[in-house]
Structure 1
Amino acid sequence: MPLTLRQFRFTAAIFDMDGLLVDSERVTQRAWIDAAQARGIALEEVDYLQVVGRASADSDAMLTKLLGGPGVFELVRADVAARLSDGGPAPLFPLKPGAASLLQALRQAGVPCAVASSSRRDEIEHRLARVGVLQHFHAWAGGNEVPRGKPDPALYLLAAARLGVDPIQCLAFEDSENGARAAQAAGVAVVIVPDLKRPGAEVVERSYGVLESLVLAHDHLPHWFPAP
């Protein structure tokens, strides 16, 4: 059951990307499961969920073990890359409901925004440009730019530093438990918008609130951020 969303004035917002801003997690999960199955390997959804929200190096290591070794992993990864080719007229990973209007509202309110994503920096730029929202962000931090990925706080600390804002003055939006833990460890308040997997009770209890969709965030903006 969603928590009552608390009220505190923040000065900046930090967003996760995959599964939060863009609907990418389900497509990516399906690609890995199907590519593994094509080689006779049963990669279950519950296994794949272990890697959601983690940096590429961490998720690659976990998938290598799940798939049976580095050789098989490289073959499956190449297949996944082909399945996830984003060269069509429409973006492979569309914006999630409420994302565009929320970012526009924050921009109009003068609230600086950043991205803290486990994806590589170039992937952040590509995916957000494809869906037309990259211009709303003042900064972004990718998983390839920090020594340890989520749930380590490094990504959120880097994003806040690039905004020039104290982490305690930032409100984060996350879909995964690993992401929520990363924000909390950095001292950043976090609103959880679950995607593939709902976070555990302990993470939810320490969150700023839980929403079923970014659409529902609009009504809370006057309470979360100062008026322009």
Structure 2
Amino acid sequence: MPQTLGHSRFSAAIFDMDGLLVDSERVTLRAWMGAARARGIALAEADYLQVVGRASTDSDAMLSALLGGPQVFEQMLADVAVRLSDAGPEPLFPLKPGAAPLLHALRQAGVPCAVASSSRRDEIEHRLGRVGVLQHFHAWAGGNEVPRGKPDPALYQLAAERLGVEPAQCLAFEDSENGARAAQAAGIAVVIVPDLKHPAADVAERSHGVLKSLLQAHEHLPCWFAMAATVKN
């Protein structure tokens, strides 16, 4: 993986949501593993990780095949929905470390931001509103709004279009390999912040850089963004 981050000047930022901005992938993984154990179903963590970063239609089809068919999948889906109820006073999926100050800094510097998430558009609004950062985004694009999900580039292309910025002028932030491949296929440079698993070597080598967390991103903003020179720590 790259040890240093590329120096370029971008005009906008596009963020994945699950596993990147909010700590949802780990919680969701535990819910699926727990639901599978409760029903005596063999579901390996490595198999589940194949669906991470994909649109719901793709991930649903893959999970259905892994679980033995649509009937079992629907039963499991209902079990998982109960386990992932977000009715408590605290958000089920909290912000990842560094997300809030990074978004604030970009907004302060006048860098427009968008979300390109495999989750549905209404889920983007709910989850980011729940943790108080939705106001930092000029646009968002959900997996239900494109014909093919990540690693297809359509979601990132839509997010860039809604920002009114050419893909080459955008910098994406992703945690998953599927998401990184989607950004790269759209012609968008990507910084990878791995969550549940590290990306393949070829994806990492073609990235703009790999970070351990979003906390490390702040120091690179003046190098990455044309309008970020005013950002202060």
Shorter-chain TM range is over 0.9
Alignment of 1:133-148 (within 5 A): 133-148=133-148
Specify the alignment match of 2:175 in structure 1: 175
Q: What is the rounded CA distance, in whole Å, between the counterparts of 1:143 and 1:32 in structure 2?
A: 20
Specify the alignment match of 2:196 in structure 1: 196
Q: TM-score, normalised by structure 2?
A: 0.97
Residue 107 in 1 paired to residue 128 in 2? no
User: 2:191 aligns to what SS in structure 1?
Assistant: strand
Specify the alignment match of 2:52 in structure 1: 52
User: Which residue type is aligned with residue 208 of structure 2?
Assistant: Y
CA shift, 1:40, in A, is: 1.1
Alignment of 1:151-166 (within 5 A): 151-166=151-166
User: 1:116 aligns to what SS in structure 2?
Assistant: strand
Q: Which runs of 5+ in 2 are unaligned?
A: none
User: Which residue type is aligned with residue 54 of structure 1?
Assistant: R
| Contact 1:6–1:209 (CA under 8 A) maintained in structure 2 | yes
Specify the alignment match of 1:41 in structure 2: 41
| Contact 1:2–1:211 (CA under 8 A) maintained in structure 2 | no
CA shift, 1:45, in A, is: 0.6
Q: What is the rounded CA distance, in whole Å, between the counterparts of 1:123 and 1:8 in structure 2?
A: 32
Percent of residue pairs bearing the same amino acid type: 82
Q: 1:45-91: CA deviations, max 9, x gaps? A: 10100000000000000000011000000000001001001010000
Q: What is the rounded CA distance, in whole Å, between the counterparts of 2:147 and 2:3 in structure 1?
A: 33
Q: What is the rounded CA distance, in whole Å, between the counterparts of 2:67 and 2:167 in structure 1?
A: 38
Q: 1:133-180: CA deviations, max 9, x gaps? A: 000000000000000000000000000000000000000000000000
Q: 1:177-200: CA deviations, max 9, x gaps? A: 000000000000000000001001
Q: Which runs of 5+ in 1 are unaligned?
A: none
Residue 122 in 1 paired to residue 122 in 2? yes
Q: What is the rounded CA distance, in whole Å, between the counterparts of 2:2 and 2:108 in structure 1?
A: 28
| CA RMSD, 1 decimal | 0.7
Q: What is the rounded CA distance, in whole Å, between the counterparts of 2:93 and 2:2 in structure 1?
A: 27
User: Which residue type is aligned with residue 12 of structure 1?
Assistant: A
Q: What is the rounded CA distance, in whole Å, between the counterparts of 1:6 and 1:28 in structure 2?
A: 32
User: Which residue type is aligned with residue 135 of structure 1?
Assistant: Q
User: Which residue type is aligned with residue 69 of structure 1?
Assistant: G
Alignment of 1:9-88 (within 5 A): 9-88=9-88
Q: Which structure 1 residue ranges, 4+ long, deviate > 2 Å from structure 2?
A: none
| Contact 2:2–2:205 (CA under 8 A) maintained in structure 1 | no
| Contact 2:175–2:192 (CA under 8 A) maintained in structure 1 | yes
Q: What is the rounded CA distance, in whole Å, between the counterparts of 1:176 and 1:129 in structure 2?
A: 22
User: Which residue type is aligned with residue 138 of structure 2?
Assistant: H
CA shift, 1:2, in A, is: 4.1
CA shift, 1:42, in A, is: 1.2
Aligned pairs, number: 228
Q: TM-score, normalised by structure 1?
A: 0.99
